Amino acid sequence: MRVLAIASSILYIATSALAAQPTSDFCAFETPIENEELVAGTDFLIKWTNSGKYTGKVKIDLMAGKDANSLTEAGLVNSNYDVDALSLTWPVWTSLGTEPMYGFLCTLEENEDIFQWSKPFTIKKSS
């Protein structure tokens, strides 16, 4: 019985990991580029492409952490935003710059299984 429970847990974890793969033809970020340094207190133009396969509204979250494996939600950048707008000017919050790594997570609002990550970037504290 215990072996069955362990096997079920392993299967659940493996299935969850597979389900959590980004959608390659959705909201492909052009900016920020990998390891780009944004400056808190300035405006930054987030740009992406869309294959046209997905339409509707997206939510863009800022994620932050010490590395790619520890990113957690740091705030909502925008929601109910048209995926076909292909860009968004974001006023980089002045409170940012304390974490070593940041990223954006773009999610299709009507189906949260459809999502894409930006490249990792840094934020320099405003002076």
The predicted model gives 75-89 an average pLDDT of: 98
Q: Quote the CA–CA distance of 39 and 35 in Å, as a whole number.
A: 13
Domains along the sequence of the chain with CATH: 23-124 (2.60.40.10)
Query: Which segment of 5-9, 24-28, 43-47, 87-91 scores lowest on mean pLDDT?
Result: 5-9
For residue 76, which phi and psi values (nearest 5 degrees)?
A: -90, 120
71-to-55, 84, 93, 103 alpha-carbon distances in Å: 27, 26, 18, 8
Q: How confident is the model at residue 111 (pLDDT cuts 50, 70, 90)?
A: very high
pTM: 0.83
Q: Quote the CA–CA distance of 126 and 94 in Å, as a whole number.
A: 6
Q: How confident is the model at residue 20 (pLDDT cuts 50, 70, 90)?
A: confident
Query: Which segment of 3-17, 34-48, 94-108 scores lowest on mean pLDDT?
Result: 3-17
Per-residue confidence (pLDDT) for residue 18, from 0 to 100: 41
The predicted model gives 55-83 an average pLDDT of: 97
Per-residue confidence (pLDDT) for residue 11, from 0 to 100: 37
